[in-house]
Amino acid sequence: MSRIVLGVSGGVAAYKAALLLRAFTEAGHDVRVVPTPGALHFVGAATFEALSGNPVTTDVWSDVPEVAHVRIGQNADLVVVAPATADLLARAAAGRADDLLTATLLTAHCPVVFVPAMHTEMWLHPATQDNVATLRRRGAIVLPPAVGRLTGPDSGPGRLPEPADVAALAAVVLEGGAAALPRDLAGRKVVISAGGTREPLDPVRYLGNRSSGKQGWALARVAAARGADVVLVAANVEAPVPFGVRVVAVETAEQLRTAMLAEAGAAGGATADVVVMSAAVADFRPAGVAATKLKKGSAGEPTAVELVRNPDVLTELVGERAPGQLVVGFAAETGDADADVLTHARAKLARKGCDLLVVNDVSAGQVFGRPDNAVVVLAADGPATEVPRGSKDAVAAGIWTAVAARLTPPGRA
């Protein structure tokens, strides 16, 4: 259990703070909500008190004997401000202490995550951008806002990321500290495939696999939080799109191949710096797709399914790799009588020619659909980095650290 301070400032998205609070308490954390007076115009203190089980105050004149403005910050393991208004970012950047939340920000020794939400004009204003840069320079994590529908009919960057995304990233910071979400992917285009392909047999049936897409989603979410421009080529994943991520939806291996080659190349105006093949792509597909549903007892009732090989997307991506581009493969391996997991993985790395291979030991259902994971990142030129068991987002953070260490500095590709 950790002690989390949830700061809430006065924007319409304050109602989503209640969902974030719920996610934190369900994960077992002790949460102290500190709203600004403005936030209480949007959500009543009773909601935050009832959901957190802790008292809610907005100013430094309550609980004076407890010296709340000092104690709350000093005792916190993590401060998350969601939503963070333009005004709150300005006051935090200026070091003001004119309410309990800003005073708490000055006394907190722990990591601080700001989750901005405001109209696009307010977000893009140089004053706000300067305040964000100041806060980041001082070590705070400021997440980029989601792009989408804003308060009125308009849309653009400025939307609060979904509470589930914020909760997942907060868990990464609790596990790894602020260093788990550096801005080391700022200005980089990363293309990630996720999910599992479906190869049709007839109009209603397909051959599929058990990949949930969770690890790919975590990679996308963490890369966006670390500043990357993220494209997610998603094969049959129902989960909501993480903030700051452009999704290209695909179904089959062939569609995934086309999308990945286009996005790794210059689609969207920029060549990818990193290409990650985390999707489970079917090695085989039915040789033919029946035009009508295959029926029991019909003259054409099948007795076997003939399969043909699908293209090897990872090998093709390696073959078409742009200068300086890193290609990262995934291997779901099990040990067998011939060799252990890492020996099989080293052989795959050599065969495929990619720069890094993320190795999952999938023996005994250790990965598919589970919320946690543990991997080893093998590099073509030798070193192996163990990323210990943790949430799939924490594992994603470990993978990005291994990748970022090998990126060519900008301008040197």
Ligand X SMILES: Cc1cc2nc3c(=O)[nH]c(=O)nc-3n(C[C@H](O)[C@H](O)[C@H](O)COP(=O)(O)O)c2cc1C
Q: Annotated active-site positions, please?
A: 209
**Comparison of 127 and 179: residue with beta carbon closer to ligand X:** 127
3-class SS of residue 274: strand
Q: How far apart are CA 163 and CA 117, in angstroms?
A: 12
**Comparison of 100 and 331: residue with beta carbon closer to ligand X:** 100
Among 175, 147, 178, smallest CA distance to 242 is for: 147
Among 108, 93, 123, 229, smallest CA distance to 173 is for: 108
Phi, psi at 190, each rounded to 5°: -120, 140
Q: Which region, judged by CB under 6 A, interacts with ligand X, from 7-15, 19-27, 58-66, 359-367?
A: 7-15
Q: How far apart are CA 253 and CA 279, in angstroms?
A: 10
Query: Would you count residue 100 as binding ligand X (CB under 6 A)?
Result: no
Q: How far apart are CA 124 and CA 155, in angstroms?
A: 14
The correct pick among 6, 20, 78, 117 for binding ligand X (CB under 6 A) is 117
Beta-strand ranges (E) seen in 236-325 are: 245-250, 274-277, 284-286, 307-309
Q: Which residues pair with 229 in a beta bridge?
A: 189
Touching ligand X, residues 118-157 (CB under 6 A): 118, 122
C-alpha torsion angle, residues 87, 90, 92, 98 (rounded to 10): -60
Looking at residue 359, the DSSP 8-state letter turns out to be E
Q: How far is the CB of 16 from ligand X (least distance, A)?
A: 11
- At CA 350, angle to CA 349 and CA 352, rounded to 5? 65
**Comparison of 89 and 378: residue with beta carbon closer to ligand X:** 89
Interface pattern 18-57 for ligand X (x via CB under 6 A): ------------------x-xx------------------
**Comparison of 38 and 268: residue with beta carbon closer to ligand X:** 38
Query: Would you count residue 10 as binding ligand X (CB under 6 A)?
Result: yes
CA distances, 257 to each of 213, 217, 235, 264 (Å): 17, 19, 11, 10
Q: Which region, judged by CB under 6 A, interacts with ligand X, from 19-27, 84-92, 194-202, 358-366?
A: 84-92
**Comparison of 7 and 390: residue with beta carbon closer to ligand X:** 7
Query: Would you count residue 87 as binding ligand X (CB under 6 A)?
Result: yes
Q: How far is the CB of 181 from ligand X (least distance, A)?
A: 22
Query: Would you count residue 92 as binding ligand X (CB under 6 A)?
Result: no
Q: How far is the CB of 99 from ligand X (least distance, A)?
A: 7
Q: Which region, judged by CB under 6 A, interacts with ligand X, from 8-16, 66-74, 189-197, 252-260?
A: 8-16
Give per-residue burial for 254-284: e unless 16+ CB within 10 Å, then b: bbbbbbbbebbbebeeebbbbbbbbbbbbee
Q: Which region, judged by CB under 6 A, interacts with ligand X, from 70-78, 115-123, 172-180, 401-409?
A: 115-123
The correct pick among 47, 52, 57, 85 for binding ligand X (CB under 6 A) is 85
**Comparison of 39 and 140: residue with beta carbon closer to ligand X:** 39
Query: Would you count residue 390 as binding ligand X (CB under 6 A)?
Result: no
- At CA 198, angle to CA 340 and CA 351, rounded to 5? 35
Residues that bind ligand X (CB under 6 A): 9-13, 36, 38-39, 85-88, 117-118, 122
